[in-house]
């Protein structure tokens, strides 16, 4: 079995900022409520002509540049997204076409906010099995397109963006462990009813606002804390390290209270937690790769550091990974 490392990162962040003050004008909420309940101050919104593959493409180009590779080097492209451009073809195929990555096979992963951690596991397995040497993993979301700006319980949370990494076969171990889980019994606590084969788009489905995300926030909150803690403990054990060896904890950026609760349960000091939820809100599967890139760029990660990723999302799905940089 070969070893696998992340050798490049890139992100794409929309220009437009939607602040808490902006949201105060459209729903009955307040900057104070949003900040204290979530830690979010603002989030980014994609321009009307920008879709998930556009941001995914831009993040990919930057990650490839960072890794020093060209399109022809890529063996496979995996895109984690809950907001694909189309139900089919996959967003991965759209990105493959724009990159001209002709040799690459390409597919999407649907695992809600955990999508990027799922992609990491699948990507590593593909390399471990000898089926590829260089992979592009993308987490990209246009959450604003499925967010109901008449629902104050959800519209304050979500934002748009993309992050990408280049994953490569390596002599040095990089992905030390990935632990995944799912519990489909929780599907109705966080889902989008319309647009699939169950409730296709009709005038009635639009009128009933079925094409927007629905979430029972406090139930999701409790499940997220429990699952991210247990997945993290399992990933730490599988990586054969102790929690105090973790240099940086990069959690899915859903809500600072969730991250804080998981951090406490894992007994990780607060200075080892990376947070940018205040600036981007919850960008679903893009949040972990965006946070990773910003942590690398800001010098918070040095070669040899041990990073813990952890995420939870619709499904329910959850996962954690231990990575040596």
The residues binding ligand ACO (CB under 6 A) are 29, 33, 37-38, 112-113, 152-153, 156, 190, 217-218, 220-221, 224, 254-255, 258, 282, 284, 312-314
Tokens of 252: 């899915």
CB atoms within 10 A of CB 233: 15
Q: Which of residues 155 and 166 has its CB atom nearest to ligand ACO in the complex?
A: 155
Residues acting as catalytic residues:
113, 252, 282
Residues in the chain: 325
- For the bound state, the minimum distance from the C-beta of residue 40 to ligand ACO, rounded and expressed in Å, comes to 9
3-class DSSP state for residue 139? strand
The tokens for 89 are 């073809």
214 is written with which tokens? Answer: 């629905």
Nearest residue to 259 (alpha-carbon basis) of 244, 241, 240, 278: 278
Q: Going by DSSP bridges, is the β-strand pair 160-170/214-215 parallel, antiparallel, or unpaired?
A: unpaired
The residues near 268 (Cβ < 8 Å, ≥ 6 apart) are: 243, 246, 249, 308
126 versus 321: smaller Cβ distance to ligand ACO: 321
Nearest to 136, CA basis, from 10, 3, 46: 10
Q: What is the CA radius of gyration of the chain?
A: 18
Q: Which is nearer to ligand ACO, 112 or 159 (CB)?
A: 112
Minimum distance from residue 275 beta carbon to ligand ACO (Å): 14
**Residue (of 86, 298, 56) closest to 161 by Cα position:** 56
DSSP code per residue over 179-194: EEEE-GGGGGGEE--S
Alpha carbons 62 and 72: distance in angstroms, whole number: 15
Q: Taking a C-beta distance cutoff of 8 angstroms, is the pair 29, 83 a contact? A: no
Residue 213: half-sphere exposure toward Cβ, Cα within 13 Å: 28
């Amino acid at each position: 079995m070969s070893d696998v490392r992340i050798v490049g990162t890139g992100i794409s962040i929309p220009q437009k900022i939607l602040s808490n003050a902006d949201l105060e004008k459209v729903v009955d909420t307040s900057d104070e409520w949003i900040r204290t309940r979530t830690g979010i101050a603002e989030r980014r919104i994609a321009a009307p002509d920008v879709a998930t593959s556009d941001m995914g493409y831009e993040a990919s180009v930057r990650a490839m540049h960072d890794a020093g590779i060209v399109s022809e080097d890529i063996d496979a492209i995996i895109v984690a997204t809950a907001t694909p451009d189309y139900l089919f073809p996959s967003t991965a195929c759209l990105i493959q076409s724009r990159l001209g990555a002709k040799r690459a096979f390409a597919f999407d992963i649907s695992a809600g906010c955990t999508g990027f951690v799922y992609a990491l596991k699948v990507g590593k397995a593909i390399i471990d099995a000898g089926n590829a040497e260089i992979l592009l993993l993308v987490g990209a979301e246009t959450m604003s397109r499925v967010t109901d700006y008449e629902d104050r319980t959800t519209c304050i949370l979500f934002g748009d963006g993309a992050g990408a990494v280049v994953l490569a076969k390596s002599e040095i171990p990089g992905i030390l462990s990935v632990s995944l889980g799912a519990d489909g019994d929780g599907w109705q606590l966080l889902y989008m009813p319309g647009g699939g084969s169950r409730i296709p788009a009709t005038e009635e489905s639009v009128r009933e606002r079925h094409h927007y995300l629905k979430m029972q926030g406090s139930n999701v909150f409790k499940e997220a804390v429990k699952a991210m803690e247990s997945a993290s403990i399992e990933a730490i054990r599988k990586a054969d390290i102790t929690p105090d060896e973790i240099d940086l904890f990069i959690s899915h950026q859903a809500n600072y209270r969730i991250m804080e609760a998981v951090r406490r349960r894992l007994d990780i000091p607060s200075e080892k937690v990376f947070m940018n939820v205040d600036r981007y809100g919850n960008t679903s599967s893009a949040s972990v790769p965006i946070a990773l890139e910003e942590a690398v760029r800001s010098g918070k990660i040095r070669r040899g550091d041990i990073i813990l990723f952890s995420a939870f999302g619709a499904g329910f799905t959850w996962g954690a990974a231990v990575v040596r940089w």
